[in-house]
Structure 1
């Protein structure tokens, strides 16, 4: 154990040396907990080498503060997104197309009607949601869903007002479509948040099929992107300018596969993203406006068949490296940064729902680098779809199996 602590001390010191040019240097550096061996012990799918030390299979870290995960309800149906209302109740999207409100005691409301119809086939449905920063006065919510249109399906964004009686969504309006449409029912992306400027940030998938996969690199379409739009669905001011001809003005970053997680760093305001890789190569990215995150040109994964993807390369000039990646996959989905004070080790850590690996990932981050990884609630055997922080500082997570968990200090 002394050796492990010594290795961690060297790593931490090296990372601290990078702070002089980082906007991360104002973040409190709390003790992340007990350092352990890496939590990932399974054989990787490839022999690909990481671009830098700590990009994958970082040391494990163990929370010392006693905490517990309690099931609040099991009465949800395929929940996909969860956000805390100002009074502490939780607003939940269900994949089939319904909104519901869950009380702190686990009472689930009737379906809230009024939202546009979704196509729930495959990976589609009613997906991520976010409350307006002025929700207490305007009661507006924004959400992502898979919409059946001429030519197939697409990732769409809508907005509407939660009625005072909380039975309907009033004035629901579709404000954005990620074109082109395609018959595929896969890889919609589907997360949404407000950035520090009050604009919406939305993740879209490249729809999985080989014909649309290259469109993640195209600036003339909305697939495989992170877009930044106003509350009315227009391109936000201050968006980066892409040099290629015909670039869409709403684009923020390109080269994404199936980004199912977005989170805003509480100190820096940086946008972080989680992204499903193929067989290996799940990613965590810190987004930079105008950057290209490489899919499918570079990847740390391979085809499900075992074949290499494209040229089988992991690095190329002009393409961004992930902050962190997994091989084998964990299938990272919704995520949030912890800003509570009930578990000191968790301050400004990133918590991510893991689907195929059935746990909640905790990443301790320092100076924009991952310094430790922990697996929470692994014994529950649940596909964790989204994680959010409640108004009182606890974490809440929903699972594909219909559960809502509260995770907090004992």
Structure 2
């Protein structure tokens, strides 16, 4: 499909069906041009040929509504849930006052969407720009969310929950003014499990389940753009009990994924991939 590459737009994320070896189904997100200079976060699917050179039966499965004139804050993570549904994160396109649509139940800005054969539904709302999402071994959905000036968040996702943006935040607007109510919390909005101030600029994430780094079992690993390395978040159930900066000074880490042997691949912002093993 046609892509709008301006600013933060482009081809944004990709994943495959759990049965990819048999069905060859690929899912991806991208910035979709909507005419008149407007854009939307979109998710599409297609079938990849056996030789990996061609996609067929390509079509959108979700297009954000309404479109936006701002090519920023697309969100755009796509993943397959343990229930077989497709989950897509959307951003609120950054610009005030339109970012208030993150609180609008009729708009799909600043939401996590669940897409099934029955169509797309809003799963959660009140998000700014979720760029990391992963289901853990218990089937729980964790997301990392970029905050403004301070206030990056780690959230545990619960259907129907409102995560507060842009009414409450632990950060400030970039000009130093308060966000929304000026309060970090309020009744009716979920608290983040953890937040960062100053920010780490969290990108993609994974839950470590391998054996090469036994002390990391069950911990969340996040690529940090501002942190310039890997951020390890130690969990005890649904509580954060520790944090470690791994490979500080590595550079702007965009995403992280565990390989079957327990080693890690880190996607860097400039497009290189680093493999991490013990020692």
Give me the TM-score of the superposition, normalised by structure 1: 0.66
Q: What is the DSSP-based 3-state SS (H/G/I as helix, E as strand, rest coil) of the residue aligned with 2:21?
A: helix
Deviation at 1:388, TM superposition (A): 1.2
SS in 2 for 1:351: strand
DSSP 3-state at the match of 1:136:
helix
Matching of residue 122 in structure 1 with residue 122 in structure 2? no
Asked if the contact 1:175–1:233 (Cα under 8 Å) also holds between the matched residues in 2, the reply is no
- The aligned length equals 278
Write 1 or 2 for the structure with the bigger share of strand.
Answer: 2
**Mean CA deviation greater in 201-210 or 384-393:** 384-393
Q: Which residue of 2 aligns with 1:87?
A: none
1:126-275 superposed matches below 5 A:
126-151=11-36, 152-230=38-116, 234-235=119-120, 250-266=121-137, 268-275=138-145
8 Å contact kept, 1:150–1:181: no
Q: Structure 1 residues 149, 207: CA separation in 2 closer, same or farther (over 3 Å shift)?
A: same
SS, match of residue 213 in structure 1: helix
Residue 29 of structure 1: aligned partner = none
* Pair 1:315-2:185 in alignment: yes
CA drift at 1:409: 2.3
User: RMSD value over aligned CA atoms?
Assistant: 1.2
Distance between the aligned counterparts of 1:339 and 1:148, measured in 2?
39
3-state secondary structure, aligned to 1:209: coil
Structure 2 match to 1:300: 170
Give the match for residue 369 of structure 1: 239
Structure number with greater Rg is 1
Q: Distance in 2 between matches of 1:150 and 1:179?
A: 13
Distance (Å, rounded) in 1 between the aligned partners of 2:187 and 2:125 = 15
CA distance in 1, matches of 2:194, 2:173: 20
Q: Is the 1:389–1:396 Cα contact (8 Å) retained in structure 2?
A: yes
Q: Is the 8 A contact 2:213 2:262 kept in 1?
A: no
Q: Deviations over 1:27-69 (max 9, x none)?
A: xxxxxxxxxxxxxxxxxxxxxxxxxxxxxxxxxxxxxxxxxxx
CA drift of 1:172 comes to 1.7
| Aligned-residue offset at 1:301 | 0.4
Residue 385 (str. 1) matches residue 254 (str. 2): yes
Tell me the distance in 2 between the aligned counterparts of 1:391 and 1:162: 23
1:408 is matched with 277
CA contact (8 A) 2:144 2:155 kept: yes
For residue 42 of structure 2, give the secondary structure of its aligned residue in structure 1.
strand
Secondary structure in 2 matching 1:409? coil
Per the TM alignment, residue 406 of structure 1 is displaced from its structure 2 partner at its CA by: 1.0
TM, length-normalised to structure 2? 0.97
- Determine if contact 1:176/1:233 at 8 Å carries over to the other structure: no
Distance 1:385 1:318 in 2: 32
Cα distance in 1 for residues equivalent to 2:54 and 2:275: 26
Deviations 1:176-224 (A, max 9, x none): 1011101101000010111111111110000101132100000001000
**CA separation in 1, counterparts of 2:151 and 2:194?**
9
CA displacement at 1:233 relative to structure 2: 7.9
Distance 2:256 2:198 in 1: 22
In 1, distance between residues paired with 2:147 and 2:262? 31
Q: Distance in 2 between matches of 1:384 and 1:399?
A: 5
Partner of 2:212: 342
Structure 1 equivalent of residue 222 of structure 2? 352
More off after superposition, 302-311 vs 289-298: 302-311
For residues 49-107 of structure 1, what are the alpha-carbon distances to aligned partners after superposition, in whole Å with 9 as ceiling and x for unaligned? xxxxxxxxxxxxxxxxxxxxxxxxxxxxxxxxxxxxxxxxxxxxxxxxxxxxxxxxxxx
